[in-house]
Amino acid sequence: MMLNPRILTPYDMAGRALKNRLAVAPMTRVSATAAGHATQEMARYYERFAQGGFGLVITEGIYTDQKHSQGYPFQPGITDDVQARAWRMVTDRIHAHRGVAFAQIMHAGALSQSNRFVDVSAGPSALRPKGEQMKFYYGAGQYPVPRAMTEEDIADAIEGFAQAASLAIKSAHFDGIEIHGANGYLLDQFLTDYTNQRNDRWGGSVQARMSLTLEVVKAVRQAVGVVPMGVRISQGKVNDFEHKWPEGEQAAEVIFGSLSDAGVDFIHVTEFEAWKPAFPAGQNSLVSLSRRYAPKVALIANGGLHTAEHASSVMEEGADIIAIGKAALANPDFPRRLASKEALDEFDASILGPIANIKNSELALA
């Protein structure tokens, strides 16, 4: 299939001009200082994507507070002005190449593997997460059983997202905010039936399980005002790849519809293979369901979309932006290669081993 030429055309994302429809997907690289400050090495790493032609660069998940949000050692944070200012090295380099930079803000919840502020993890319910900690983020063995969050913990988490978003815009000079609602982290733990067994207003129906994400959206909007702001949503999780929403398309209607009603500027959907049907029954992908139930919201699609064929097919289903993960690690100049029909380098998984931190060999690529 031919490349849909719209992919290389500009896009207005809630008032920010993107030079094309290609974004770098958020990717954790555990390369900050132990105190969670972004580094020169990270600035160079992110710069390569803007230099290589990506219109939008979404950062790795950045922890939001000095309580339970941190997930990994050497994960960058944005919990105070010093951490926020360290990100200016990154945003300056992205801006120097006419790139737009969004901060992904995340709370690890029960999937925390390391936290220098508190000794216990916290999640919706005191249930041990499935699976094992990720070795390439310095983890080993089972996840600990989290503490079930109190009303006060929940209020702190919401406040953390709002403050982190404010610091990201005002001190770090990011152009927009992506709230991490996907992949098994705190907001997704609340959304997921089997990790959220609460009997209070935060648990029960899909609408109730979605309410924490919607409260975070509201608080972040209040904190940042009119800047691009959206939420990343998935079915699969880092510790449960195959998960499907048990309510099927009805869940999609509630989730995407309520995000649209809450006034997000964009929804970022991610699936292992984004063009495939989202549920065993039915043909609709998560991209097309998001387009259907949030028709006016900008739509970022991610998951195996580095071929012209797949990227073009999700554009036809209504995606506005295509986010590229592993293929961007292998080809920081992916947009240029796509435009000139140059062959792509294969993603080499050894970049992410034994630890997923930034490797010197990557920084040479431009």
Ligand X SMILES: Cc1cc2nc3c(=O)[nH]c(=O)nc-3n(C[C@H](O)[C@H](O)[C@H](O)COP(=O)(O)O)c2cc1C
Q: Which residues are catalytic?
A: 185
Nearer of residues 62 and 84 to ligand X, judged by Cβ = 62
Nearer of residues 136 and 145 to ligand X, judged by Cβ = 136
Nearer of residues 208 and 351 to ligand X, judged by Cβ = 351
The nearest distance, CB 64 to ligand X, in angstroms, is 13
The nearest distance, CB 10 to ligand X, in angstroms, is 22
Nearer of residues 64 and 183 to ligand X, judged by Cβ = 183
The nearest distance, CB 352 to ligand X, in angstroms, is 5
**Residues 228 and 16: beta-carbon distance below 8 Å:** yes
Kindly state the tokens that stand for 103.
Answer: 């901060």
The nearest distance, CB 308 to ligand X, in angstroms, is 14
The nearest distance, CB 234 to ligand X, in angstroms, is 8
Distances in Å between the Cα of 166 and the Cα atoms of 37, 103, 233 are 17, 11, 22
Distance of CA 198 to the CA centre of its chain: 25
Distance of CA 261 to the CA centre of its chain: 21
Nearest-angstrom CA–CA distance, 294 and 288: 10
SS3 call for 291:
helix
Kindly state the tokens that stand for 10.
Answer: 């500009």
The nearest distance, CB 108 to ligand X, in angstroms, is 10
Nearer of residues 281 and 343 to ligand X, judged by Cβ = 343
The nearest distance, CB 184 to ligand X, in angstroms, is 10
Kindly state the tokens that stand for 106.
Answer: 């995340």
Distances in Å between the Cα of 83 and the Cα atoms of 63, 90, 128, 151, 161 are 11, 12, 31, 27, 15
Q: Which residues bind ligand X (CB under 6 A)?
A: 25-28, 60-61, 104, 180, 182-183, 232, 270, 302-304, 324-327, 352, 356
- Which distant-in-sequence residues (6+ apart) come within 8 Å of 21 by Cβ? 6, 7, 8, 9, 11, 55, 315, 320, 321, 322
The nearest distance, CB 322 to ligand X, in angstroms, is 9
Nearer of residues 30 and 149 to ligand X, judged by Cβ = 30
Distance of CA 232 to the CA centre of its chain: 5
Nearer of residues 151 and 233 to ligand X, judged by Cβ = 233
Secondary structure element (H or E) that encloses residue 60, with its range:
strand 56-63
Nearer of residues 61 and 124 to ligand X, judged by Cβ = 61
Cis omega before residue 76 (within 30°)?
A: no
Residue type, 125: S
**Residues 329 and 293: beta-carbon distance below 8 Å:** no
- Residue closest to ligand X when measured from CB atoms: 325
Q: What are phi and psi of 164, to 5 degrees?
A: -60, -40
Q: Dihedral sign, CA of 237, 180, 126, 248?
A: negative
Residue type, 34: A
Nearest-angstrom CA–CA distance, 46 and 66: 25
Kindly state the tokens that stand for 35.
Answer: 């105190």
Distance of CA 118 to the CA centre of its chain: 24
